[in-house]
Amino acid sequence: MDQTSMSTAQREALTYPHIEANTLDDQGLARRCPLDNGRHEGTPAFHLGDLDKLPLELLSKTLVQTDLRSLTDLRRVNRRAMEVVDSIMQYQVIVAHAPDSLRGILAIGTGQWITCQKLYDQLCTADCDHCGAFGGYLYLGTCKRVCFFCFSQVPDYLPLPLSDALQRFGLGRRIPKSVPRLRSIPGCYTRDETVLRTRLTLVDSESARQAGIALHGSVSAMEQHASEMASKRRRAYAAKRELKAEGALIPTPRRPRPTKAYDEREADPRRFLAVVRAPWLDLRTRSLEWGFHCLGCLYMDDPWQWAAKFTAETFQSHFEECGKMMEMMGDSPLRRQYVGWLEYMGLL
């Protein structure tokens, strides 16, 4: 088989564009969080005071390091502020090619922890921050490039309720300001179409964990403190239950929440409510790459192979490997159908 002979049409016949995952960008962000870029053209009637004394180039270099919530607030000051913000190259690229990433950040309220430069850098990164495979999504809790497998399976990408994070990581009564918080958007999430009707207030679990380690000095010290506090709550609960059983006039005690967060993995809507599909901005070729899935991987024994995404460049080598895997599989109608496609396309 000559790999270099595979045309765009042949590749498209052997792949499909994306998984119907029902992530944040499927919740009508254009309606919920519209962007007004390009709607206020004309000569500004006001100025930015002392900021206008700075050269535009220097002002842009400063503002690109500003968090997106502050940058959005600045745009609302007047038309001149809009003009300055909209002139930032990185901001222009984000709005033009990945507007849902900006809409999602503003909609769930994580903008104060994410700078314009950080979002741009992640859009220019192809690989998943966790596993190194092609990442077709952005996790907007901390703005990381992720693949479907990692954001739906890895503990770092499960946002936690405030009370769970406080108990699990021994943070006392308050979440540090450095830990990103988010408010979910009601909608339909996960491949099972789970409906969330209320807004949840959650925190990024990995940031909360790092805050707990910093507070207690080490992982072991943090876990020991959390364990001791959990034991204390269980003893208090048992004592109250005993008093209630003896007839004491006290409210029915509430069972302590488990220290370990409940996680349904790919069926847990919390894993999808801060994730958007996002293209990779290939600066070398000045092109957008959304990635795509291999049809053959749908028939593999590996339960997660179907979730892998490829680019036009990486699919060439993957196809040869996938073809060999297909040849090792036992005879089945699905295999015969797939091999028939390969023969029809002249690839076998």
Whether 99 has a pLDDT exceeding 60, the answer reads yes
Q: How far apart are CA 260 and CA 270, in angstroms?
A: 15
| pLDDT band, very low/low/confident/very high, at 13 (cuts 50, 70, 90) | confident
Q: What is the pLDDT of residue 194?
A: 94
| pLDDT band, very low/low/confident/very high, at 7 (cuts 50, 70, 90) | confident
Closest CA to 309 of 297, 320, 327: 297
Whether 2 has a pLDDT exceeding 60, the answer reads no
Residue 244 falls within a domain, yes or no?
A: no
Two structure tokens written together for 265: 């993995």
Whether 317 has a pLDDT exceeding 70, the answer reads yes
* pLDDT, tens only, 150-186: 999 999 999 999 989 999 999 988 899 999 999 999 9
Work out how many domains the chain is built from and give that number: 1
Residue 46 falls within a domain, yes or no?
A: no
Q: What is the pLDDT of residue 229?
A: 87
Helices of type H across the chain: 8-13, 29-32, 56-63, 68-75, 79-86, 89-97, 99-108, 116-123, 148-153, 162-168, 205-216, 219-245, 312-328, 333-344
Q: What is the pLDDT of residue 92?
A: 94
| pLDDT band, very low/low/confident/very high, at 327 (cuts 50, 70, 90) | low
Of 317 and 275, the structure prediction assigns the larger pLDDT to 275
Residue 210's alpha-carbon distances to 55, 105, 171, 229, 275, in angstroms, are 39, 22, 10, 19, 21
Residue 332 falls within a domain, yes or no?
A: yes
Of 303 and 70, the structure prediction assigns the larger pLDDT to 70
Q: What is the pLDDT of residue 334?
A: 67
Share of the chain above pLDDT 90, in %: 54
Helices of type H across 246-268: none
Q: What is the pLDDT of residue 330?
A: 63
The answer to which of 3-7, 75-79, 111-115, 263-267 has the lowest mean pLDDT is 3-7
* pLDDT, tens only, 113-159: 999 999 999 999 999 999 999 999 999 999 999 999 999 999 999 99
Domain region containing 2: 1-17+292-348
- Mean of pLDDT values over 247-263: 77
What are the two backbone dihedrals, phi and then psi, of residue 148, each rounded to the nearest 5 degrees?
-60, -45
Residues in the chain, total: 348
Whether 32 has a pLDDT exceeding 80, the answer reads yes
Share of the chain above pLDDT 70, in %: 88
Residue 262 falls within a domain, yes or no?
A: no
Q: How far apart are CA 154 and CA 9, in angstroms?
A: 35
Average pLDDT, the chain: 87
Residue 192 falls within a domain, yes or no?
A: no
Residue 117's alpha-carbon distances to 24, 60, 95, 174, 250, in angstroms, are 22, 11, 13, 29, 55
The answer to which of 58-72, 222-236, 317-331 has the lowest mean pLDDT is 317-331
Residue 1 falls within a domain, yes or no?
A: yes
Q: What is the pLDDT of residue 347?
A: 61
Whether 299 has a pLDDT exceeding 50, the answer reads yes
Whether 309 has a pLDDT exceeding 80, the answer reads yes
Residue 29 falls within a domain, yes or no?
A: no
Whether 5 has a pLDDT exceeding 60, the answer reads no
| pLDDT band, very low/low/confident/very high, at 3 (cuts 50, 70, 90) | very low
Q: What is the pLDDT of residue 348?
A: 59
Q: What is the pLDDT of residue 346?
A: 66
pTM here? 0.87
Residue 340 falls within a domain, yes or no?
A: yes
Of 344 and 33, the structure prediction assigns the larger pLDDT to 33
